[in-house]
Amino acid sequence: MGMVTMNELHKYGRTKFIMPGTAACPGCPLQIGMRQLAMALDGKFVMVIPAGCSSVIPGSAPYTAYTVPVLHVPFASSPAVASGIVRAVRQRGNNGPVVVWAGDGATADIGFATLSGAAYRNEDILYIMADNEAYMNTGIQASGTTPWMAWTTTSPRGKTEDKKDVALIMLMHKVPYVATASIAYPMDFIDKVRRAMQVKGFKFIHLHAPCPPGWKMDDAYTIRAARLAVETGAWILWEYNQGKLTISPPSLPYKDKSRRKPLEEYIKIQGRFAHLKPEDIKIMEEKIDRQWDLILKLAEIFK
């Protein structure tokens, strides 16, 4: 399957995958990501959504902004519910995509057991973890994927723990497809979703989604922050597809440390890191270097 092109996406110019007039905050990354997902799947899929921003964004009954069949489910249950749906529809010969669209809290924390269960059973579902790095819907509380030293309402002096690397944990579940993506690189994300859908079994995509209110930054900085995360090397885009792990094209230049933008550029636009001292940023840089070492070594191993 070739890479997606802008020309190909033109046909969606008039398609409202998400109806206008939602309840999202200005600059919300989740709608951006969800729309890209809908383009990748041509709008024909089922979404299972646990508690989180995405259960509020579609607005209120009897209407919804989502244009695909959606089942809203309790916080921890989405991978298990999706397993049930996929078993039921496959029995009737329906091979359409069943997608879990979940936040970082539902994935890395409360729903981790059901996620692990569905992954090890290799259920035929696509799991998108839209990671805005905290419990934003309840008002910015630290989650398992909140980065080290980030301010949240439950980590007022900065979080003391490191970000949980869910994508690598999923890789160790030996599922056929795991990738990281970013809303700032839509073509890369759409390609990954499409490649994932070629594979039967459990597919996991960790989608980086900067949240303006939660990261204490300007509403207009969503894409800028997501892009800077990649350009500074803080967020590495990689893809594991049935035994082969590769660094994705947008992240390729940043293998070389000298080509990465200074980390300060990414840090300084986020109010949640305002309290960071220069030595903290240094430690952060070291963490990023170690993460790159690890991913590059894994790319060597899964050649």
Partner 1 sequence: MSVAEKLRGGLLLSTPAEGAGGRTGTWRVYRPVINYSKCTKCGICWLYCLRMLLSGLRIRTSGLTMTIARAVEYARMFALLRLLTWLRRGGWCE
Partner 2 sequence: MSRQISLARQVRKVLVGDHAVAEAVKLARVNVVSAYPITPQTLIVERISEMIEKGELKADYVRVESEFAALATVYGAAAGGARAFTATSSHGLFYMYEMLWWAAASRVPFVMAVVTRVVGPPWNIHDEHTDLLAIRDSGWIIGMAQNVQEAFDMTLTAFKISEDERVLLPVAVGLDGFILSHTAEPPLDVPSQEDVDAWLPPRNPRIPYTIEPGGEAITMGNLPGNDVYHALLKKYMDESMESAKKVIAEVYDEYAKLTGRRYGPLTECYRCSDAKYLAISMGAWSGDIMNAVDRLRDEGYPIGLLRIRYVRPFPEEDVTGWINGMKGVIVFDRDYSAGMGGGVLASEVSGFVPSNVSFEGVLAGIGGFDVSSDEFKAIMKEFIDKVEREGQVRIRKYWYIPKIER
Residues that bind partner 1 (CB under 8 A): 6-7, 9-10, 13-16, 18-24, 26-28, 31-32, 35-36, 57-67, 183-184, 186-187, 219-220, 222-223
SS3 of residue 132 by DSSP: coil
Q: How far is the CB of 36 from partner 2 (least distance, A)?
A: 18
> For strand 238-241 and strand 244-247, is the pairing parallel, antiparallel, or unpaired?
antiparallel
Q: Which of 22, 77, 141, 246 binds partner 2 (CB under 8 A)?
A: 77
Task: Choose the one of partner 2, partner 1, none that binds residue 193, judging by a C-beta under 5 to 8 angstroms depending on kind.
Answer: none
Considering the complex, state which of residue 76 and residue 196 has its C-beta at the smaller distance from partner 2. 76
Q: Are 116 and 173 in contact (CB under 8 A)?
A: yes
Residue nearer to partner 1 on the CB measure, 23 or 274: 23
Instruction: Tell me how many residues contact partner 2 (CB under 8 A).
Output: 47
Q: Which does 183 bind (CB under 5 to 8 A by kind): partner 2, partner 1, none?
A: partner 1
Q: Is 201 a binder of partner 2 (CB under 8 A)?
A: no
d(CA 164, CA 178) in angstroms, rounded, equals 15
User: Which residues have CB under 8 Å from 167's CB, separation 6+?
Assistant: 178, 179, 180, 204, 206, 238
Give CA angle at 212 (211, 213), nearest 5°. Answer: 100
Cβ nearer to partner 1, comparing 110 with 193: 193
Instruction: Report which residue type is found at 114.
Output: T
- Which structure tokens are listed for 69? 């069949």
| Nearer to partner 2 among residue 88 and residue 220 (C-beta) | 88
Buried b / exposed e over 271-299, threshold 16 CB at 10 Å, is: ebbeebeeeebeebbeebeebbeebeebb
Contact 67, 43 (CB under 8 A): yes
Per partner kind, with CB cut-offs from 5 to 8 A, the member of partner 2, partner 1, none near residue 113 is: partner 2
User: CB-side exposure of 65: number of CA atoms within 13 Å?
Assistant: 19
The Cα–Cα gap between 288 and 71 comes to 37
- Residue 257: which of partner 2, partner 1, none does it interact with, CB under 5 to 8 A by kind? none
Whose Cβ is closer to partner 1: residue 61's or residue 301's? Answer: 61
91 binds partner 2 (CB under 8 A): yes
Q: Minimal distance in Å, beta carbon 28 to partner 2?
A: 16
Which residue, 197, 119, 171, is CA-closest to 301?
Answer: 171
Least CB distance from residue 237 to partner 1, whole Å?
16
Give, in order, the Cα–Cα distances in Å from 54 to each of 31, 41, 89, 245: 8, 18, 24, 30
> Smallest distance from the beta carbon of 167 to partner 2, in angstroms?
20
State the minimum distance, in angstroms, from the CB of residue 128 to partner 1: 17
Task: Give me the residues that bind partner 2 (CB under 8 A), please.
Answer: 44-46, 48, 55-56, 58-64, 66-74, 76-77, 79-89, 91-92, 94-98, 113-114, 116-117, 121
